[in-house]
């Protein structure tokens, strides 16, 4: 594949029958071992309900990492799926480990349970998603387990999966059979009461949140289609029965809600989305869930939703028992750049002035991290409102200011001038200079325009759903980021209709969004040179360590390689566009794959140096996890590639362990 075709693909990324049982001897042993499993296992997507992605295991460490070898590989069979939609599939799942079994999903929501020591299959469940439909996203990031591993009640474990076709399903963890007493024969139709517009564009791609006896679920929506899209409601269901406990709409309708006054006129009735498509976090002690919300519809023109649009583009703390808003913090006012809160809000404890502060770290596509007190939403590091560029588009109304944290500093560039243009050759650099000079480019938050705007960062981030990890001992936060600016252009409706009639929309390398119900359609593409490399200086992907004691960046290292550029001098310093998060262990290691090559890497937690690389059978756009069984530590990652990113695909789950252990 040539570079140009390769980056063209990148453009399309945007991103128990009964709950009480009589114990057998084996079940009693499992119940007694749940506390130890919680310490050595990985019971939730981000290991804990707050997504810290930290493991206290240290058998694998900086001294012996060179002995890490493949222990077993499991094939899911997803590579054999022949549906047309499979071409865009992405294997993004992180397995969980509870009660001595690994559980995960394929991109098509097939749930699989494995023996964690040998990778042998225990059971599978296929929800029979209709793959003949066209789905906005073809991925599933995993499953959730209830009750929590530290729960002392003698309750049968359930595994919950939310599907591409918007169902919530409860499975018996021991057998994989649907729990008949949950919902209707084990499942709930999530498409109810959301103002369904297009079936294939209302999905769930992330695992539900679990808090107490509640299962909380958001939704993923195909964006840029129009003003009146599906509503991004967040709902809580009883874990036993599936009964709806509460529903919260991030677009407020209640006129007594102060946030409602930040939606002009009837826009809160018409607009959709603002949905929570990423991972929701839970704090059982505080009784709160933390919801990351997206842009309201449509993404790139807000003339039909004037105002700040509060609760959208925010982290919102809800009372888990009622769905009531406790506090919210908006990271972008009146979003026009597709700057969803795509990362799981990470719940961590910070050491500040001799005391422990329960905090939530909010990573953003803008490459900024907001660190807040999770009890009340107040910033731990100061945040200030700064003036930003204003719109020149008739009908639009931009926010005069946007919030910026004083610390940490932005992890990616926030401006791109023509003189900053980069290229592999002088010809490439000159072409990039000319392209940038023709566009409106006044730094981050330059609004979309009719002449074309440089969006920096682009809508893939900065940070994306890949999220962050946190070492509580060193107080270090780790995250992988992208550095890829985009061109964004608004197209008057008549002009766009004419382009569609002549087929012109099919002859360009970028992506159109019809934005029905507004005067403008949208076009976007990454800013690339003629040879197909970004117009911005590398690294295009990196791993960053942030010291949350001080707010300063401790180190940053290029992450991954782009295979098509491997022959160029210093290509190892370019880094790679990346999707898939990191994890950190007590062994002093940060594990991450995510890049476009087929490697899992271990970075030294203190220095940021790569000290180990493991070869994978396919690219891994997923986050790794780790656990210990029979005294042996394993590191596991899903390696199946990403159809939209154009990486090498497969259907492998790969486990590593120390040779000779």
Model confidence at 18, in pLDDT bands (50, 70, 90)?
A: very low
The helix (run of H) or strand (run of E) holding residue 10 is helix 3-11
Contact 134, 200 (CB under 8 A): yes
- CATH architecture of the domain formed by 46-66+465-483+537-661: Beta Barrel (2.40)
Nearest to 315 by CA among 367, 272, 366, 372: 372
Please give the average per-residue pLDDT across 615-643, as a whole number. Answer: 97
Q: Quote the Cα angle for 284-286-290, to 5°.
A: 75
The pLDDT value recorded for residue 180 is: 97
Phi-psi region of 191 (alpha: psi -120 to 50; beta: other; left: phi over 0): alpha
Beta carbons of 617 and 602 less than 8 angstroms apart: no
Whether 172 has a pLDDT exceeding 90, the answer reads yes
Query: By C-alpha distance, which of 172, 174, 242, 252 is closest to 208?
Result: 242
| Residue 655 pLDDT class (50, 70, 90 cuts) | very high
Q: How confident is the model at residue 3 (pLDDT cuts 50, 70, 90)?
A: very low
Is the pLDDT at 495 greater than 70? The verdict is yes
Task: For the chain, give the percent of residues with pLDDT over 70.
Answer: 94
Cis check for the bond before 266: say yes or no (omega within 30 of 0): no
Q: What is the mean pLDDT of the chain?
A: 93
Which run of H or of E encompasses 344?
none
Confidence bin at 69 (pLDDT 50/70/90): very high
> Over the stretch 150-171, which tens digit does the pLDDT of each residue have?
888 889 999 999 999 999 999 9
Residues annotated as catalytic are 338
What's residue 85's pLDDT? 80
Q: Considering only CA atoms, which of 141, 160, 151 is closest in space to residue 236? A: 160
Model confidence band, residue 483 (pLDDT cutoffs 50, 70, 90):
very high
The percentage of residues in the chain with a pLDDT greater than 90, rounded to a whole number, is: 87
Q: Is it the case that residue 20 has pLDDT exceeding 50?
A: no
> What distance in Å separates the CA atoms of residue 196 and residue 335, rounded to the nearest whole number?
23
Is it the case that residue 602 has pLDDT exceeding 50?
A: yes
Average pLDDT rounded to a whole number, residues 3-25: 37
Mean local confidence (pLDDT), 585-602 = 98
Sheet of 96-98: strand order equals 96-98, 101-105, 111-114, 121-125
Q: Cα–Cα distance between 437 and 419 in angstroms, integer?
A: 9
Give the whole-angstrom CA distance, residue 62 versus residue 601.
12
Q: Is 63 exposed, middle or buried (0-12, 13-18, 19+ CB in 10 A)?
A: exposed
Chain centre distance of CA 597: 20
φ, ψ at 647 (rounded to 5°) = -85, 170
Are the CB atoms for 451 and 440 separated by under 8 Å?
yes
User: How many whole angstroms separate alpha carbon 545 and alpha carbon 606?
Assistant: 9
* Angle (CA) 263 265 271, round 5°: 60
- Report the half-sphere exposure of 631 (CA within 13 A, side-chain side): 2
The C-alpha atoms of residue 480 and residue 623 are separated, in whole angstroms, by 11
Indicate the pLDDT class of residue 2, thresholds 50, 70 and 90: very low
How far is residue 459's CA from residue 643's CA, in Å, rounded to a whole number? 18
- Strand arrangement of the beta sheet that strand 552-558 belongs to: 468-471, 476-482, 541-547, 552-558
Query: Contact, 176 vs 123, CB < 8 A?
Result: yes
> If you ran DSSP here, which 8-state letter would residue 427 be given?
H
Environment class of residue 75 by beta-carbon count within 10 Å: exposed (0-12), middle (13-18) or buried (19+)? middle
What confidence tens digit (pLDDT) does each residue in 313-342 have? 999 999 999 999 999 999 999 999 999 999
Do 379 and 405 meet the contact criterion of CB atoms below 8 Å apart? Answer: yes
pLDDT at site 39? 62
The CB-side HSE value for 451 (13 A sphere, CA atoms) comes to: 10
452 preceded by cis ω (within 30°)?
no
Angstrom distance (rounded) from CA 203 to CA 138: 9
Mean pLDDT value of segment 590-606: 98
Tokens 């992605």 belong to which residue? 53
Q: pLDDT-based confidence at 38, cuts 50/70/90?
A: very low
The model carries a pTM of: 0.94
Q: Are 72 and 622 in contact (CB under 8 A)?
A: no
Per-residue pLDDT tens for 223-259?
899 999 999 999 999 999 999 999 999 999 999 999 9
Which pLDDT band holds residue 23 (cuts at 50, 70, 90)? very low
325-384, pLDDT tens digit by residue?
999 999 999 999 999 999 999 999 999 888 999 999 999 999 999 999 999 999 999 999
* Domain limits, the chain: 46-66+465-483+537-661
Contacts of residue 405, defined as CB under 8 A and 6 or more positions apart, other chains included, come to: 368, 369, 370, 371, 379, 381, 382, 383
pLDDT band at 34 (very low <50, low <70, confident <90, very high): very low
Q: What is the pLDDT of residue 661?
A: 59
Q: What is the mean pLDDT of residues 440-453?
A: 98
């Amino acid at each position: 594949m040539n570079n140009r075709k390769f980056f063209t693909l990148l453009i399309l990324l945007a991103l128990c029958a009964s709950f009480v049982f009589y114990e057998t001897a084996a079940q009693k042993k499992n119940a007694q071992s749940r506390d130890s499993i919680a310490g050595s296992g990985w019971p939730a997507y981000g290991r804990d309900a707050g997504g810290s992605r930290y493991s206290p295991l240290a058998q694998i460490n900086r001294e012996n990492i060179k002995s890490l070898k493949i222990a077993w590989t499991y094939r899911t069979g997803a590579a054999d799926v022949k549906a047309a939609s499979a071409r865009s599939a992405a294997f993004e799942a992180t397995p969980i480990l509870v009660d001595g079994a690994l559980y995960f999903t394929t991109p098509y929501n097939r749930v699989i349970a494995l023996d964690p020591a040998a990778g042998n299959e225990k059971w599978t469940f296929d929800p029979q998603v209709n793959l003949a439909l066209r789905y906005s996203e073809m991925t599933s990031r995993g499953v959730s387990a209830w009750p929590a591993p530290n729960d002392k009640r003698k309750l049968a474990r359930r595994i919950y999966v939310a599907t591409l076709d918007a169902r919530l399903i409860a499975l018996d963890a021991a057998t994989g059979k649907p729990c008949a007493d949950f919902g209707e024969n084990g499942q709930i139709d999530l498409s109810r009461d959301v103002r369904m517009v297009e079936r294939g564009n209302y999905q769930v791609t992330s695992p539900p949140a679990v808090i107490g006896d509640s299962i909380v679920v958001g939704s993923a929506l195909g964006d840029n289609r129009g003003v009146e899209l599906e509503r991004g409601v967040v709902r809580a269901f009883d874990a036993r029965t599936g009964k709806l406990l509460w529903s919260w709409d991030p677009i407020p309708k209640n006129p007594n809600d102060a946030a409602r006054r930040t939606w002009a006129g009837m826009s809160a009735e018409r607009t959709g989305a603002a949905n929570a498509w990423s991972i929701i976090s839970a704090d059982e002690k505080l009784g709160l869930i933390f919801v990351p919300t997206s842009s309201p519809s449509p993404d790139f023109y807000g003339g039909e939703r004037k105002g700040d649009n509060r609760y959208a583009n925010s982290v919102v703390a809800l009372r888990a028992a009622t769905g009531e808003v406790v506090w919210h913090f908006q990271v972008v006012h009146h979003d026009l750049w597709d700057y969803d809160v795509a990362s799981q809000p990470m719940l961590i404890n910070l050491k500040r002035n001799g005391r422990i502060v329960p905090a939530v770290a909010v990573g953003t596509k803008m490459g900024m991290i907001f660190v807040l007190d999770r009890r009340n939403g107040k910033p731990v590091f100061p945040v200030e409102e700064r003036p930003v560029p204003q719109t020149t588009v008739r009908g639009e109304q931009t926010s005069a200011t946007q919030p910026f944290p004083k610390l940490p500093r932005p992890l990616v560039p926030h401006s791109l001038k023509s003189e900053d243009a980069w290229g592999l050759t002088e010809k490439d650099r000159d072409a990039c200079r000319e392209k940038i000079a023709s566009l409106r480019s006044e730094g981050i938050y330059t609004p979309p325009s009719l002449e074309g705007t440089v969006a920096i960062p682009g809508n893939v981030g900065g940070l994306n759903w890949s999220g962050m990890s946190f070492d509580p001992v060193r107080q270090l936060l780790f995250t992988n980021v992208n550095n890829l600016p985009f061109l964004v252009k608004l197209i008057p409706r008549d002009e766009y209709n004419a382009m569609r009639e002549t087929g012109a929309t099919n002859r360009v390398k970028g992506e159109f969004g019809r934005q029905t119900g507004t005067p403008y359609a949208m076009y976007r593409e990454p800013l690339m040179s003629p040879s197909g490399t970004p117009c911005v200086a590398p690294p295009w992907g990196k791993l960053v360590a942030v010291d949350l004691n001080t707010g300063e960046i401790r180190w940053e290292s290029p992450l991954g390689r782009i295979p098509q550029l491997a022959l160029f001098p210093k290509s190892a310093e370019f880094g790679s566009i990346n999707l898939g998060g990191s994890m950190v262990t007590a062994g002093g290691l940060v594990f991450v794959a995510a890049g476009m090559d087929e490697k899992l890497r271990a970075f030294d937690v203190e220095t940021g140096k790569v000290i180990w690389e493991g070869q994978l059978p396919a690219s891994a756009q997923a986050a790794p996890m780790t656990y210990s069984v029979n005294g042996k530590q394993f590191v596991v990652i899903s390696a199946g590639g990403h159809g939209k990113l154009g990486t090498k695909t497969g259907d492998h789950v790969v486990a590593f362990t120390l040779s000779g252990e």
